[in-house]
């Protein structure tokens, strides 16, 4: 998300965090206080009645006892060690007695509310610290992450306990009945949330630093390596340990470990885009190289390498909590700090980009920097349009999609088109690890502003002495990567067609069946249930049930007996929507596979209908 988008979302996230922190503890505090107050009244009434009926006390003793207990609060004896209240405490506030529960719950709920207020204050301080400098930013995040891991788990345990306590006492006190099934359900949900939090803490984050490209040896590009090392020397920083040549629409540097093909890289890496190098003059490409090396010199990549894995672990932990039902209360709190930190991170990232642009302008020229920015932005914009258009196509692509050729031959025409200027105003520099400031701000920063009317001239100009001329085998290297990319592109596109099609031809039907074949599940009593792309074949039903007749699905796991599948239909009955109920007693261990298949096939149908509606709206506009 961009910083403006994050700021707009902050209000909603703050509201959710406040709900997570204070709704259940506040409700528990209020209910416990109410019930404790009622209990005090009842106990005092019972004591007064007992004194009045006592035959062992004189009139003066009864009067003194009545006055004493009238001035005393029974619940106060639970935490007041005064000897005068010892008899009262022993009589009404034994550990685990009802009054002891009310007092203890009230005090724990109050402490939770107060602790949550303090937690918000600490998070606000950590958030402010993240805006100060890089070292403070790192320390802020690490401390905040550890703090929220502990407090988040504590929140889940405490609020789960509050929920179970409320599920018993609200009905017991106010309606004089308790619902055991409700208590068990709440307890189970709370236990699942606690288990989810504990598992998430110790679960390892899957690594995802794979980069598509090829390691470029010094002997394959000696002049390029010499230029990179020269720039690094002039900046007083170490050169990259490896250069990766790929076909992504960006350049970047990193110090994080990467997987390139079957190789694991360590240390500093510079990624260069072969198709972009073909678009850039040598001085423009030099400006890009200088910019990227400026990140090395400024310590940006070292900071990202240290912070990046922790951000990934934080986000992974948060994602796991969202799957744990009640554990989402901790997730909302994690969201709050993450958004505040992300705003600080993006502000810091903009400063780093401006500084790197300044380095590039000093090593090359402001003009070269700006021309490179314009060309990279234009290429990325146009390539995205080409790929989006091809992916939106409703027919399978052939073996040779020709994305590279389409982009290379169509870029100049795009630069002359009416929509080019609007596209460039919204343009951003693509980058896998950082966010970049708008193009206009970056031009002002380096002290050279190219007017929009000249953008097309820059984009349409033929590159002079591009660096690809000095890379041995650059053409074959790029062609091989484009072929691999297009195979993956065609495969992904074909799978989306399986979601989009309502098959009308044998070819379309064959494609859908390739990804969504009929899935048959054996049930007890020799029955079966079949899931197809068109609907469901239910046990005991002669006709298949089309997906169009399903508007909602409910699935209830059964501890004993068969699971319950409830299918809601669009038709209305006397008591609401019509439904079909199916009992499912699986013969084997097919329950989870059935649920996944059911969800995937129904999702396919809804995607297909949504696609048709979008096409109808688009056709109506035309």
Return the CATH number at 602: 2.30.29.30
Residue 307 domain-assigned? no
Give me the mean pLDDT over the 497-523 stretch: 95
At 86-96, the pLDDT tens digits run 777 777 788 88
Residue 197 has pLDDT above 60, yes or no: no
**Read out DSSP for 352-378?**
HHHHHHHHHHHHS-HHHHHHHHHHHHH
At 126-180, the pLDDT tens digits run 999 999 888 889 999 999 989 998 888 888 888 888 888 888 888 888 887 777 7
Give me the mean pLDDT over the 444-466 stretch: 93
At 480-491, the pLDDT tens digits run 999 999 999 999
421 confidence band (pLDDT: 50, 70, 90)? confident
Same domain, 234 and 183: no
Residue 309 domain-assigned? no
Q: What is the pLDDT of residue 168?
A: 87
Between 94 and 110, the more confident residue is 110
> Which residue among 493, 522, 540 closes a domain?
493
Same domain, 51 and 98: yes
Residue 576 domain-assigned? yes
Q: What is the pLDDT of residue 319?
A: 82
Give me the mean pLDDT over the 382-397 stretch: 92
Q: What is the pLDDT of residue 400?
A: 84
Provide the domain count of the chain.
3
Residues 339 and 424 sit within 8 Å (Cβ to Cβ): no
At 273-326, the pLDDT tens digits run 999 999 999 999 999 999 999 999 999 999 999 998 888 888 888 887 777 666
Residue 194 has pLDDT above 60, yes or no: no
Give me the mean pLDDT over the 340-358 stretch: 92
Residue 240 domain-assigned? yes
Average pLDDT, the chain: 87
- Cα distance between residue 547 and residue 533, in whole Å: 8
- Cα distance between residue 169 and residue 159, in whole Å: 15
51 confidence band (pLDDT: 50, 70, 90)? confident
Same domain, 276 and 376: yes
Residues 360 and 288 sit within 8 Å (Cβ to Cβ): yes
Same domain, 123 and 248: no
- Cα distance between residue 102 and residue 550, in whole Å: 47
* 29-33, 89-93, 102-106, 210-214: range with lowest mean pLDDT: 89-93
> Which residue among 178, 202, 226 closes a domain?
202
Q: What is the pLDDT of residue 110?
A: 96
Structural tokens at position 389: 């258009």
Point out which residues pair with 555 in neighbouring strands.
565
Same domain, 535 and 488: no
b/e for 391-429, b at 16 or more Cβ within 10 A? eeeeeebeeebebbebbbeebbebbeeeebeebbeebeb
Same domain, 88 and 137: yes
Residue 16 domain-assigned? yes
Q: What is the pLDDT of residue 192?
A: 60
Same domain, 189 and 220: no
Classify residue 261 by its DSSP letter.
T
Residue 537 has pLDDT above 50, yes or no: yes
For residue 351, what are the CA distances in angstroms to 133, 347, 381, 434?
11, 6, 24, 11
- Cα distance between residue 533 and residue 601, in whole Å: 6
Residue 320 domain-assigned? no
Residue 201 has pLDDT above 70, yes or no: no
Residue 38 domain-assigned? yes
Chain Cα centroid distance, residue 245: 30
Structural tokens at position 70: 């009238």
Give me the mean pLDDT over the 58-76 stretch: 79
217 confidence band (pLDDT: 50, 70, 90)? very high
CA atoms within 13 A on the CB side of 278: 17
Residue 2 has pLDDT above 60, yes or no: no
Q: What is the pLDDT of residue 432?
A: 46
Residues 343 and 3 sit within 8 Å (Cβ to Cβ): yes
Residue given tokens 């007996």 in the structure block: 561
CA atoms within 13 A on the CB side of 147: 21
Same domain, 231 and 380: yes
Same domain, 175 and 269: no
Same domain, 198 and 215: no
At 244-273, the pLDDT tens digits run 999 999 999 999 999 998 899 999 999 999
Residue 600 domain-assigned? yes
Q: What is the pLDDT of residue 493?
A: 94
Between 121 and 184, the more confident residue is 121
- Cα distance between residue 364 and residue 367, in whole Å: 9
Residue 503 has pLDDT above 90, yes or no: yes
User: What residues make up the domain containing 286?
Assistant: 211-300+349-493
Residue 433 has pLDDT above 50, yes or no: no
Q: What is the pLDDT of residue 206?
A: 59
Same domain, 463 and 489: yes
> Which residue among 182, 202, 222 closes a domain?
202
- Residue 525's region, left for phi above 0, alpha for psi from -120 to 50, else beta, is left
Same domain, 43 and 155: yes
How many percent of the chain have pLDDT more than 90? Answer: 54
């Amino acid at each position: 998300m961009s910083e403006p988008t994050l700021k707009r979302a902050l209000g909603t996230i703050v509201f959710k965090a406040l709900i997570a922190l204070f709704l259940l503890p506040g409700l528990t505090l209020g209910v416990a206080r109410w019930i404790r107050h009622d209990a005090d009244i009842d106990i005092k009434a019972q004591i007064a009645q007992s004194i009045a009926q006592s035959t062992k006390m004189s009139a003066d003793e009864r009067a003194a006892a009545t006055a004493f207990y009238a001035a005393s609060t029974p619940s106060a004896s639970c935490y007041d060690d005064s000897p005068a209240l010892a008899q009262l405490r022993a009589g009404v506030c034994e550990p685990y007695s009802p009054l002891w529960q009310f007092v203890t719950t009230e005090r724990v709920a109050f402490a939770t509310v107060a602790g949550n207020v303090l937690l918000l204050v600490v998070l606000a301080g950590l958030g402010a610290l993240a805006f100060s400098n890089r070292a403070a930013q790192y320390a802020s995040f690490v401390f905040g992450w550890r703090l929220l891991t502990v407090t988040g788990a504590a929140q889940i345990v405490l609020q789960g306990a509050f929920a179970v306590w409320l599920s018993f006492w609200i009905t017991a006190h106010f309606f004089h009945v308790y619902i055991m099934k409700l208590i068990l359900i709440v307890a189970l949900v709370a236990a699942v949330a606690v288990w989810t939090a504990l598992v998430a803490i110790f679960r390892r984050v899957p690594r995802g630093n794979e980069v598509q490209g090829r390691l470029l040896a010094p002997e394959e590009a000696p002049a390029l390596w010499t230029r990179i090392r020269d720039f690094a020397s002039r900046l007083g920083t170490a050169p990259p340990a490896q250069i990766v040549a790929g076909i992504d629409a960006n350049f970047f540097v990193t110090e994080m470990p990467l997987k390139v093909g079957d190789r694991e890289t360590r240390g500093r890496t510079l990624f260069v885009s072969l198709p972009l190098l073909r678009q850039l003059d040598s001085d423009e490409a030099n400006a890009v190289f200088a910019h990227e090396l400026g990140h090395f010199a400024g310590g940006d990549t070292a900071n990202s390498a240290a912070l990046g894995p922790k951000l990934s672990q934080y986000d992974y932990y948060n994602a796991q909590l969202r799957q744990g039902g009640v554990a989402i209360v901790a997730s909302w709190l994690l969201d709050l700090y993450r958004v505040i930190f992300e705003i600080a991170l993006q502000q810091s990232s903009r400063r780093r980009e401006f500084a790197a642009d300044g380095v590039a302008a000093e090593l090359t020229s402001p003009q070269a920097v700006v021309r490179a920015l314009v060309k990279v932005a234009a290429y990325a914009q146009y390539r995205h349009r080409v790929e989006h258009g091809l992916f939106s196509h409703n027919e399978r692509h052939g073996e040779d999609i020709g994305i590279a050729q389409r982009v290379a031959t169509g870029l100049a025409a795009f630069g002359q088109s009416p929509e080019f200027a609007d596209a460039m105003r919204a343009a951003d520099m693509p980058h896998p690890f950082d966010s970049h400031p708008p193009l206009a701000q970056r031009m002002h920063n380096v002290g050279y502003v190219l007017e929009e009317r000249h953008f097309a001239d820059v984009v349409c100009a033929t590159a002079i002495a591009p660096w690809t001329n000095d890379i041995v085998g650059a053409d074959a290297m790029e062609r091989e990567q484009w072929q691999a990319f297009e195979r993956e592109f065609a495969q992904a596109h074909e799978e989306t067609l399986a979601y989009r099609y309502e098959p009308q031809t044998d070819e379309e039907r064959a494609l859908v069946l390739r990804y969504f074949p009929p899935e048959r599940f054996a049930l007890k009593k020799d029955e079966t249930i079949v899931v197809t792309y068109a609907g469901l074949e239910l046990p005991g039903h002669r006709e298949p049930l089309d997906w169009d007749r399903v508007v909602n699905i409910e699935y209830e796991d059964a501890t004993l007996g068969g699971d319950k599948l409830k299918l809601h239909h669009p038709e209305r009955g006397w008591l609401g929507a019509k439904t079909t109920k199916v009992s499912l007693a699986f013969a084997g261990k097919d329950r989870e596979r059935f649920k996944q298949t059911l969800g995937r096939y129904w999702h396919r149908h809804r995607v297909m209908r949504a696609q048709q509606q979008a096409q109808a709206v688009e056709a109506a506009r035309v």
